[in-house]
């Protein structure tokens, strides 16, 4: 009997990515065409480590479930995780932290989609030989993850590595000379 395929768990902090995109990159609320193509991210997760991926998309739903978005997530293969809590509770952060802690006891690899340093402790606990990555916008990634690459943490960019956007975002980043294309500036 063949061993069961290893799984990549893709944990998406959609609020963090949306806030970074809107506030820090675009300076306004993103239009639908400017949002990540979440199906590309799920495919990237499967292709990256050549194994099945389970996409968990965490949402702060509070009292209203965004059914159109939830149905779209289901249609492309995600498991929506709608959450509610009391005033001031960061329900998405709490749920992702608990999920990362639970994954510590499972034979699985993890891709966390967030720039938020609130997950650094749980991510560091997963650096025990398994494959672990943080996907987001490199220039906005929390410094709390600094130094973890020496222990095996991969840093992946949602735009440049995943190609999750249909159009180039107006980002300012340090460009490795090997990637410099003057045509992008002319």
Q: Are 55 and 42 in contact (CB under 8 A)?
A: yes
Tokens 């990159």 belong to 25
Rounded to an integer, what distance in angstroms lies between the CA atom of residue 38 and that of residue 11?
12
* Band of residue 3 on the pLDDT scale cut at 50, 70, 90: low
Q: Give pLDDT, residue 4.
A: 59
Torsion, CA 69, CA 70, CA 72, CA 76, rounded to 10: 140
Cβ neighbours for 114, distance < 8 A, ≥ 6 positions apart? 11, 12, 13, 16, 17, 96, 134, 135, 136
pLDDT over threshold 90, residue 171: no
pLDDT digits (tens, 9 = 90+) for 98-148: 999 999 999 999 999 999 999 999 999 999 999 999 999 999 999 999 999
Torsion, CA 94, CA 147, CA 12, CA 32, rounded to 10: 120
Domains and CATH numbers, the chain: 7-184 (3.40.50.1010)
pLDDT digits (tens, 9 = 90+) for 54-97: 999 999 998 888 899 999 999 999 999 999 998 889 999 999 99
pTM of the model: 0.91
């Amino acid at each position: 009997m063949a061993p069961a395929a290893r799984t990549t768990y893709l944990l998406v902090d959609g609020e963090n990515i949306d806030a970074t995109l809107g506030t820090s990159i675009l300076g306004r609320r993103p239009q639908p065409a400017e949002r990540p193509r979440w199906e590309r991210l799920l495919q990237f997760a499967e292709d990256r480590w050549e194994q099945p991926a389970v996409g968990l998309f965490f949402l702060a739903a509070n009292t209203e479930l965004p059914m159109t978005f939830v149905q779209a997530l289901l249609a492309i293969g995600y498991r929506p995780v709608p959450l509610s809590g009391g005033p001031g509770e960061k329900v998405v952060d709490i749920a992702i932290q608990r999920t990362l802690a639970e994954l510590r006891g499972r034979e699985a690899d993890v891709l966390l989609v967030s720039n938020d340093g609130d997950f650094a402790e749980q991510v560091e606990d997963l650096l025990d030989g398994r494959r672990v990555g943080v996907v987001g916008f490199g220039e906005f990634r929390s410094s709390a993850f600094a130094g973890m690459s020496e222990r095996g943490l991969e840093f992946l960019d949602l735009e440049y590595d995943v190609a999750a956007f249909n159009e180039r975002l107006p980002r300012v980043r340090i460009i490795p000379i090997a990637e410099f294309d003057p045509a992008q500036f002319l």
